[in-house]
Structure 1
């Protein structure tokens, strides 16, 4: 019976320096050749994914569930309202916080993100095991992918979600209070230490997006497998029949997993695909 596989991206399909292990690409290619469908299910929006050198896939779920695509066909797209974007942009700017708007058309940042982003992204990469040299290189690549906008140019109506730098964890807690009608998450850092907060539309999760895609495909949830490395992936685990945590994953995702594979850079994806007889 063919399976439908959902892969988180950073720390699962690719490493924390945005490099795709050759074994992971081979695993996905072979699984698809064997008749299985493979989708990425990520917090990244399509513009960011297009900057990555990934293998061929059957489609994607992006923006933590705001966007669903099957073979270049848009199944669902539900982003933030322009009013919400304006309010979040103003909230961040008043706090002198760097942020970027995640849209399918691009990643748009403010002045503070250009100032604060490199240091924060170096912390992110180093916390995931990168050397200082590699961390600086990957951080610069990340920053280079932004489109810098100012003033009301940032009040856009095509935004899936917004990520912002956490000066302290209190910024995340404040965002939950100030935007109670939105979904607030955190990400980045070693283990589950938060470096970024993000805000997205309510009702949007990886789980919801998977359910929408399965309904579109007329597929049986019993044939689904998910792979992840962080707390944000737990919603995938709630709806998929079998769930795999990466060896480099946090404690919560490992505790919820049916199987724990090796690290992303130790052929974790390939070894799990073999174990599950996808290849």
Structure 2
């Protein structure tokens, strides 16, 4: 029996063709909640970004944010935090100061960036988001970095960060998180706190950073608009986000 469903945001709940949550998706979420299923976001975004998206008007039972780095309850209270290792943070701050690579730094207070390029603008536009404001590091805990640029060049960053890994979400952008992090790590922690297991969970996603969670939960659903390698590992491929994907999969599994 599915007790909790985890939802990616971009391309899964929010359509960037319409910059909205489809009406059928909203209806599916309402029916799932009425049937006692917990609804949790599992996203690479932080709360300051989520509060600017259409999902802000929907009630969720929890938030696995920044690719599992910071998990919150329905009221925004911290359940679990996994900041990036201090040594790796210091190395990234040096890169930021050198301005070799555009890098967004994200802590609990939200994101800021060191400088902006056309690739930064293009990547953020693809997910209907504004570029973070220019800012400086002041010693706060960092939960996620976002680096922008050529993919082959960015891949070398991980060689300098032994305690981190990369999570791609755009051809020009990659999230940098703790090596023991990721959406799946955050999901496991959330479920543990709910006295549930992965066998109680279902997940919806469309991109590379959804692969781990889709493979691990009881039922992993890929959106019809998702990347091909995501569809290949999913238990079920539903229709496009703009063609009632969430609603149709919920009906298929008799959850609504």
TM-score (norm 2): 0.90
| Number of the residue aligned with 1:164 | 147
Secondary structure of the corresponding residue to residue 247 of structure 1:
coil
Preserved contact between residue 91 and residue 161 of structure 2 (Cα < 8 Å): no
Deviation of residue 120 (structure 1)? 3.8
**Counterparts in 2 of 1:170 and 1:246: CA distance versus 1, 3 Å:** same
| Number of the residue aligned with 2:115 | 111
- Answering whether residue 150 of structure 2 is matched by residue 147 of structure 1, we say no
Preserved contact between residue 47 and residue 103 of structure 1 (Cα < 8 Å): no
| Number of the residue aligned with 2:7 | 7
Partner Cα distance (1:255, 1:96) in 2: 37
| Number of the residue aligned with 1:131 | none
**Structure 2 segments unaligned to the other structure (5+ residues):** none
Deviation of residue 102 (structure 1)? 2.2
Deviation of residue 100 (structure 1)? 1.1
Q: Counterparts in 2 of 1:157-236, with a 5 A limit? A: 157-166=140-149, 168-188=150-170, 194-236=171-213
- Answering whether residue 17 of structure 2 is matched by residue 31 of structure 1, we say no
Partner Cα distance (1:83, 1:208) in 2: 21
| Number of the residue aligned with 1:101 | 105
Partner Cα distance (2:250, 2:105) in 1: 34
> Where does structure 1 differ by over 6 angstroms across 4 or more consecutive aligned residues?
none
Secondary structure of the corresponding residue to residue 244 of structure 1:
strand
Partner Cα distance (2:115, 2:33) in 1: 43
| Number of the residue aligned with 2:235 | 258
Secondary structure of the corresponding residue to residue 133 of structure 2:
strand
Residue correspondences, number:
252
Partner Cα distance (1:116, 1:97) in 2: 11
Partner Cα distance (1:202, 1:155) in 2: 23
Secondary structure of the corresponding residue to residue 211 of structure 1:
helix
Deviation of residue 97 (structure 1)? 2.2
Deviations 1:8-65 (A, max 9, x none): 1101011135421121112112211111001011111122112212111111101111
Deviations 1:149-196 (A, max 9, x none): 1xxx32442321000112x222222102111221122221xxxxx211
Q: Which moved more, 1:240-249 or 1:85-94?
A: 85-94
Q: Counterparts in 2 of 1:48-127, with a 5 A limit? A: 48-54=49-55, 55-72=58-75, 73-81=77-85, 83-94=87-98, 96-112=100-116, 116-122=119-125, 124=126
Deviation of residue 92 (structure 1)? 4.2
Preserved contact between residue 106 and residue 147 of structure 1 (Cα < 8 Å): no
| Number of the residue aligned with 2:247 | 270
Preserved contact between residue 167 and residue 208 of structure 2 (Cα < 8 Å): no
Partner Cα distance (2:223, 2:122) in 1: 26
Deviation of residue 82 (structure 1)? 5.0
Preserved contact between residue 79 and residue 158 of structure 1 (Cα < 8 Å): yes
Q: Which moved more, 1:269-278 or 1:104-113?
A: 104-113
Deviation of residue 6 (structure 1)? 0.6
